Amino acid sequence: MSENPVWLSQLERDAWLGLQTVMTLLPATLDSDLQGLEGITLFDYHMLAMLSEAEDRKLSMTDLASHTSASLSRLSHVVKKLESRGWVVREQSEEDARVKIASLTDAGWDAVVAMAPHHVASVRALLFDPLDDKDVKNLAAIMRKVTTSLDQDHWILKPGATDLEH
């Protein structure tokens, strides 16, 4: 970084303040919504959703951490909380004893299936309904660029990573 800062232009400042506002308000609103629905956080739901989309509803803790952009310690804490609800179990990998596998239980699957329509409706209402198709396409492109600048090896950037196989 140089000693002489290059200040944000008015347009950049407006974009940054808008992004900062959305990064604060959107997760808080979705957290509150899920707390009222099922007593979980947005992160809890995201973790369950990532497991629900995985092959056999299982991921190694390392892969689950990558898919949720979380540290292993945060993930471990959340998995423990969701284990107590009977939604997730952890077990040793059969291939490598050093690897822990997180699995979505049938009860966890049922919980995701029950929450998903409400959650998707909330995401749609809060984020996508105010946008037109061009805005959504631009938002997706912008998020790819920003994600690449933050972590060029992020799993979401891999071809087909976000394609659902339903």
CATH number at residue 40: 1.10.10.10
Domain assignment present for residue 144? The answer is no
In this prediction, residue 166 carries a pLDDT of: 38
Distance CA 75, CA 48 (A): 11
SS3 call for 166:
coil
Distance CA 68, CA 54 (A): 13
Domain assignment present for residue 37? The answer is yes
Q: What is the number of domains present in the chain? A: 1
Question: Could you tell me the two tokens for 87?
Answer: 């939604």
Q: What does the pLDDT profile of the chain (166 residues) look like in tens digits?
A: 568 899 999 999 999 999 999 999 999 999 999 999 999 999 999 999 999 999 999 999 999 999 999 999 999 999 999 999 999 999 999 889 899 999 999 999 999 999 999 999 999 999 999 999 999 999 999 999 999 999 999 988 988 877 765 3
Count of residues making up the chain: 166
Global pTM reads: 0.89
Tell me how far CA of residue 14 lies from CA of 5, 11, 17, 29, 146, in angstroms: 18, 5, 5, 22, 17
Domain residue limits at 28: 17-128
Domain assignment present for residue 136? The answer is no
Domain assignment present for residue 7? The answer is no
